[in-house]
Amino acid sequence: MNSGLEGWRLGVGTGYALYLGDQMDYAITRNYYGFKELRPNITLGAYKQINEDTEWGLVFKRGSFQTLKSSNTQGLQCDYVELQTNWQKSLNDNIEISGKPVSINFQVGFGFMNYKSRYFVINPNFISPDGALIQSSVGYGYKERKDIMGNPYEDISNRRFTLVGNIGLNLGIRLNRNLRIYWENSVQVSGTSKLSGNLEKVAKIPPDGYFYSGLTIHMRFGVGGGRLGCPRF
């Protein structure tokens, strides 16, 4: 008898998101007075096998990315939640990782992201995340802020939604009959230039995005689509 989860795999994992866009400095800040780019994210996924080399699923991510630039005097931060619908295609026809212990998968997907972001400069007299001077922001509730000279800051008070899509590769490895571990490396591209929080920049292309690398562990249920299961007694 098949359960309602026959052919599905459910998983949880974690990984790192690194900002991609015209505000990046091509260097990873590991720890600078509490600022750090390697910030753990949470990933939840559910995939249904369609045939011997294809899966469809939903992936939820919650996390943030941060980067410093200009000799660590300026920086950005984005906190986000997103839901994407994904398709995975095994490049070695082994999507359920049964005949062989490894599957190399191409993935592509799209969905929605809800985010808040800020662009800041670092106060040299008080170097810490709490000492950052926010120059512009999205989703922090700020309205009509002004600096000490009376010049207005640019702010969008509410969090924003944007379209987001991804393309990448992941490596699936069979641990035992039901457990699989996946290593994902993908590029996420949004439909906005505001993930950096810098509302003063004019260029809209390229839009902001991030590179994601992470591990998830999945529990697989039953036999996937396109195969016949052996009867159990």
Strand 8-20 versus strand 209-220 pairing type: antiparallel
pTM, to two decimals: 0.89
Residue 51: enclosing H or E segment and its boundaries? Answer: strand 40-51
Predicted confidence band of residue 52 (pLDDT cuts 50, 70, 90): confident
Across residues 68-73, what is the average pLDDT? 89
Q: CA 127, CA 119: separation in Å to the nearest integer? A: 16
Query: Three-state SS for 130?
Result: helix
Q: Which residues share a beta bridge with 233?
A: none
Tell me the C-alpha distance between 39 and 36, whole Å. Answer: 7
Confidence of residue 216 (pLDDT cuts 50, 70, 90): very high
Mean pLDDT confidence for 71-88: 95
pLDDT for residue 25 is more than 90: no
pLDDT score at 139: 96
* pLDDT for the residue numbered 77: 95
Q: Average pLDDT of the chain? A: 89
Q: What's the pLDDT score for residue 148?
A: 80
Residue 71 confidence (pLDDT) above 60: yes
In this predicted structure, the answer to whether residue 164 has a pLDDT above a threshold of 60 is yes
Q: What is the pLDDT of residue 151?
A: 85
Q: 80 near 62, Cβ under 8 Å?
A: yes
Give, in order, the Cα–Cα distances in Å from 6 to each of 33, 105, 146, 221, 227: 49, 21, 58, 5, 12
What pLDDT band is residue 19 in, cutting at 50, 70 and 90? very high
d(CA 28, CA 68): 8
Give the pair of three-digit tokens for residue 77. 């931060």
In this predicted structure, what is the pLDDT of residue 147? Answer: 81
pLDDT band at 136 (very low <50, low <70, confident <90, very high): very high
